[in-house]
Amino acid sequence: MKTYIVGNWKLNFTVGEASIYLHKLMKALPNYRDTEVVVAPSTIALQPLSLQVDRHKIKLAVQNAFYRDFGAYTGEISFSQLDGMVDYALVGHSEQRYIFGEDDKMIAKKVAAAVRNHIKPILCIGETESERAFNETADVIRDQLIGGLSEIADDDLDEVLIAYEPVWAISSTKVAKLATPDEVTDVVKLIKKTLSDTYGKKEAEKVPILFGGSVSPSNAGAYLTVPGVNGLLIGGSSLILSEFVDIIEIAKKVQS
């Protein structure tokens, strides 16, 4: 299975800045056979970057889109409009869940819309600090996972990636807030068991699982060696070219 290194640029970079960054990133990277490098710029930058990107080196992802293919939805962009422009889509990111109020029903529709339009959804799941404190992690993970996949056919499961992002570890600068490899291991086991119990072990093994949560060059190697982790979803460090390239190189070393 490939290793996936996904950079989520969130609400950063102008179109010009994104173009310059992408140009530098493409120059810094060779063609990797077993490592899929993905960047998710702001939506306004996607179209020009889709004309610039070398898809042998880097794939593009959209940070969010609407589940209807067309209609009277002012201000929204559909997955159907992105077909051919991006290869991946972040769906259910914690910032969409907890800032903009997306629920599992909405997220499930977006996962299905992405698959329907030939875009691989990266379904983001993860518990908050209070949910972990009250020992609700397992329930939250199961509910978000099964809820998010509820509108796709079993045959389409291999089109989906799962990203475990504990909300309490995102954008943290305190060591105490970082998820430990043991904590990640426990949740990855839970994800795999839930998928296996629902879809069968053979199908579950096809689903890549990524980890995200204050990933940096200093901890990327530890997370990538967690059994069952097939890649990383990176926020802040993906905005710094040298750090992002370092993480990609660490991923290659872990593979070998």
8-19 confidence digits (pLDDT tens): 999 999 999 999
Architecture in CATH for domain 3-255:
Alpha-Beta Barrel (3.20)
Is 93 annotated as catalytic? yes
Is 165 annotated as catalytic? yes
pLDDT in tens, 91-142: 999 999 999 999 999 999 999 999 999 999 999 999 999 999 999 999 999 9
d(CA 111, CA 119): 9
Q: What is the mean pLDDT of the chain?
A: 95
The answer to whether 168 and 132 have CB atoms below 8 angstroms apart is: yes
pLDDT at 246 over 70: yes
- pLDDT band for 171, please (50, 70, 90 cuts): low
What value does the mean pLDDT take over residues 182-195?
Answer: 97
Give the range among 23-32, 100-109, 169-178, 245-254 with minimum mean pLDDT.
169-178
Give the angle 209-136-148 at the CA atoms, nearest 5°.
45
The reported pTM is 0.96
pLDDT at 254 over 70: yes
The answer to whether 23 and 52 have CB atoms below 8 angstroms apart is: yes
pLDDT in tens, 31-64: 888 999 999 999 999 999 999 999 999 999 999 9
Catalytic-labelled residue, pool 36, 93, 95, 131: 93
Contacts of 91 (CB under 8 A, 6+ apart): 64, 107, 110, 111, 114, 121, 122, 123, 124, 148
AA letter at 95? E
**Residue, of 102 and 177, whose pLDDT is higher:** 102
Catalytic-labelled residue, pool 127, 151, 165, 243: 165
